[in-house]
Amino acid sequence: NTAIAGIGNYTNKVGWLSTKKMTEDTQKMIDAMHTKTPSTKTKIRHLSGGNQQKVILGRWLLLNPDVFLLDDPTRGIDVGAKYEIYQLIFDLAKQNKGVIICSSEMPELLGICDRVLVLSSGHLTGEYDLVHDREHATQENIMVDATKFV
């Protein structure tokens, strides 16, 4: 499951899959993401929610994109797994990767983002620079912006 997004990277000149390379890259992601799994062959559905999230993130990390769009990246997972995913997000930002996070968890947004854009019914209703003006980025102000067109 980890290698599926880049399946073309694991084929030889005649189109055969290299299971050795897929297994190596999967193990690399398991180690890097601290994924708890019995083996590289364990089906994703048999993992906990947090470990499933790590596999999905690892899948895209293998492609080395410049921008990540994460939709509720920590929804439904335990605190320990959340912390590990937050660390990953910070590490991506340190590597000058763009990270866009869509989340309904306001403390999460205020805790890990540099900037928050608020949408209401498809309209941009608020923008908060958390690096230079954290004072105005309160949950109350964001909720007012989020409900302008509701």
Q: Is the residue at 105 inside a domain?
A: no
Q: Is the residue at 116 inside a domain?
A: no
Q: Is the residue at 106 inside a domain?
A: no
| pTM, two decimal places | 0.83
pLDDT for 123: 96
- Beta carbons of 55 and 44 less than 8 angstroms apart: yes
Q: Which string of DSSP letters, residue by residue, matches 66-133?
A: SEEEEESTTTT--HHHHHHHHHHHHHHHHTT-EEEEE-S-HHHHHHH-SEEEEEETTEEEEEEETTT-
Q: Is the residue at 26 inside a domain?
A: yes
Flag residues of the chain having pLDDT under 70: none
pLDDT for 36: 93
Q: Which amino acid is at 75?
A: R
Strand partners, 99: 68
pLDDT for 18: 86
> Looking at the 3D structure of the chain, how many domains does it have?
1
Q: Is the residue at 45 inside a domain?
A: yes
* Residue carrying the six token digits 């708890």: 36
- The CATH number given to whatever domain includes residue 48 is 3.40.50.300
Q: How far apart are alpha carbons 73 and 88 in whole angstroms?
A: 11
Question: Within 13 Å, how many C-alpha atoms sit on residue 111's CB side?
Answer: 13
> What confidence tens digit (pLDDT) does each residue in 6-44 have?
998 898 888 899 889 999 999 999 998 889 999 999 999
Residue 31: which domain range?
A: 4-97
Q: Is the residue at 76 inside a domain?
A: yes
- Beta carbons of 118 and 147 less than 8 angstroms apart: no
Q: Is the residue at 22 inside a domain?
A: yes
pLDDT for 101: 96
28, burial (CB in 10 Å: exposed 0-12, middle 13-18, buried 19+) = middle
Q: Is the residue at 72 inside a domain?
A: yes
